[in-house]
């Protein structure tokens, strides 16, 4: 499956009042090499494993495979992850026909709030909510796999 998404910095916390749902996410990386990542995620009480391929030139699209796995398996796989676990709260905000996923980071990435919107095609033009700031699509510093090894608190 091809993942097409744009990433943005968030200006303020008005997304919380606009949100229709939120969840707690812990994720680690078994492999975070450039061009391929294998991620283990625990979202509330569910486990997932995700494999992502390299991004295209602009960082907008890449291959993604995600599969739900038993929570106990995800907890065990987290023990195999590289150092640096990502801890965040994800807020879901509808805007037109699109859903923005706003990630409020904790721990070593506290203070960073980023929004992503998944697109059906690279030409989609979502309605941008007022809390959205600078676009950072393709800026590797903002990839979760990079935040693991170079957290926001060190910038």
Q: Which residues are tagged catalytic?
A: 29
Output the CA–CA distances (angstroms, integers) from residue 113 to 52, 60, 98, 125, 128, in the order listed.
22, 19, 19, 22, 16
Q: Where are the beta strands (DSSP E) in the chain?
A: 2-10, 21-31, 37-43, 46-55, 61-69, 86-95, 98-105, 113-118, 132-135
Q: What backbone phi and psi angles, to 5 degrees, belong to 11? A: -80, -35
């Amino acid at each position: 499956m091809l993942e097409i998404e744009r990433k943005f910095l968030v200006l303020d916390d008005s997304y919380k009042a606009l949100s229709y749902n939120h969840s707690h996410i812990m994720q680690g990386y078994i492999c975070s090499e450039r061009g391929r990542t294998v991620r283990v995620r625990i979202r509330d009480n569910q486990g997932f494993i995700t494999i992502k391929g390299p991004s295209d030139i602009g960082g907008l699209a890449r291959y993604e495979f995600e599969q739900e796995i038993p929570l106990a398996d995800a907890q065990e796989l987290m023990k195999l992850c590289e150092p640096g676990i990502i801890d965040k709260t994800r807020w879901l905000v509808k805007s037109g026909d699109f859903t923005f996923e706003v990630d409020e980071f904790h721990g070593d990435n506290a203070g960073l709030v980023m929004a992503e919107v998944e697109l059906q095609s690279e030409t989609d033009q979502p309605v941008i909510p007022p809390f959205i700031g600078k676009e950072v699509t393709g800026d590797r510093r903002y990839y979760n796999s990079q935040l693991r090894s170079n957290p926001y608190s060190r910038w």
